[in-house]
Amino acid sequence: MHKKYVALLFTAVSLVTGSSLSAQQKSTITLASQENAPTINKHIYGHFAEHLGRCIYDGFYVGEKSTVPNTNGVRNDIIAALKELGIPNLRWPGGCFADTYHWKDGIGPKDERPEMVNQWWGGVTEDNSFGTHDFLDLCETLGTEPYLAANVGSGTVQEFTEWIQYVNHTGKSPMSDLRKKNHREKAWGVNIWGVGNEAWGCGGNMTPEHYANLYRQYATFMSDWTNSGKMFRIASGANVADYHWTEVLMRDIPKNLIEGVALHSYSFVTWEKKGSSTKFDEQQYFTTMQTALKMEELVTKHTEIMDKYDPAKKIALIVDEWGGWYDVEEGTNPGFLYQQNTMRDAMIAGTTLNIFNNHSDRVRMANLAQTVNVLQAVILTKGDKMILTPTYHVMHLYKVHQDAKLIPIKVASPDYKFGDKTLPAISASASAKDGKTHISLVNIHSTDKITTEINLESLKLKNFTAKIISSGKLQDHNTFENPNAITEKEFKDFKFKNGTLSVTLPPFSVVVLEGK
């Protein structure tokens, strides 16, 4: 073919795809000073289980009489998968559901519990068969810390504080006596508490000034009943870029009444037209990644506000809802938010966790939404079948960062271009723990492999191994018929010579390297 026509063809294909076809792009990563680097708090890798769709019922909880193997009604396969994932905390019962939930309806004999209508999610009637004991016993089984989101929107201070007394009081009291009557002698000792949820929206459509005063009232009466001062109180924080909300909370809430400020942000094509979770094109993929990478700006700007009032960084930024949000799968209840999970979600997970790791001086807890069968779930179920999603495998690879010392890095990345817009193609974070160094790398580019060079001479490392999550198409996902289409695999496309690690990352891939 004539060179002129080859050039024309190249240009035409580039215009159609909206991206560069160069397969020889390179990036570099350099290490910054580690002297004052923070520890990556394990709670950044937290999860979220709301009474929404099939997350609790027909997800976690199938009931003691189910033919699906279970422990006290909770699926054994889910318990095993979450233990392997090493989840550090689990948030419950919401979400929007939290501010309609009255905890006393979910204790005592199950056949005597009142029913309620889930007004936020599908209008379904539930029987409260999964309640406080079920959730906290599940957390004990998982070895994870419970995060209880309490009702401020439609509840009272007394209801809230009685719940704390019920689960935490070790001596004799009305609520600890009630707990013992319900066959639980030992207090659970719940430390993490959310004071309402999304007070700017489904939690009451409040102004930040009103919520700040309400928070002060609730937080004043919160006690762990041991005077140890260990209770971790989280204020309902901003919706995405509502920086005024964070400003008011940090300004108006006394520092002795608060340990964390929340932030919620989801990734999607557009809020009005979220698109299919599996039938998306490159433009929809690129736009979704724009909203995902916006997390860097959100965390930075909310942190700047918090730094004005709390320069010692004693108050944590808690991103307790994040993840991809698309249209529900065809034929499912639109209020159940059930969606599939593709390589696009793996890109969201990898890049978002890298952002959290790199900001771990302020971000000390986060919760992926949600654990089972809802939004960017790590687990999907169908009858007695269960599959692990690409997001599960990313979080499994990244668990090496939990409670590890951050290695600050600087990334010089080539652009991923679509039309007249660009995004950095490479995302990364690194940490050290127990004599091992881990580097997590993500290439979000839809077509280009990218070689990344990392100078690690100062770390005196000798040997590396690696694992990868990748696939042939961005839309690829695991199904109940083919549950292992996307899994973690051994990765060898890297070289380590004279202290420099050279890694060739396939398009839309996640790689975690271990050096020692």
Q: Which of 126, 145, 162, 321 is catalytic?
A: 321
The SS3 assignment for 126 reads strand
Cβ distance 367 to 377 under 8 Å?
no
Residues 6+ apart with CB under 8 A from 213: 252
CA 493 – CA 349 distance, rounded (Å): 22
User: Is 198 annotated in the active site?
Assistant: yes
Task: List the beta strands (DSSP E) in 373-414.
Answer: 379-382, 385-388, 405-406, 409-412
Q: What share of the chain is helix, strand, coil (3-state, %, to 5)?
A: 30, 25, 45
Question: Measured at the alpha carbon of residue 35, what is the angle toward residues 29 and 38, in degrees to the nearest 5?
Answer: 80
Q: Which of 50, 126, 145, 198 is catalytic?
A: 198
CA 117 – CA 115 distance, rounded (Å): 7
Give me 21's structure tokens: 């076809």
CA 350 – CA 368 distance, rounded (Å): 12
Cis-peptide, bond into residue 208, ω within 30° of zero: no
Residues 6+ apart with CB under 8 A from 181: none
* Number of Cβ atoms within 10 Å of the Cβ of 178: 16
Q: Which residue type, as a one-letter code, is found at position 125? A: T
User: Is 64 annotated in the active site?
Assistant: no
Residues designated catalytic: 198, 321
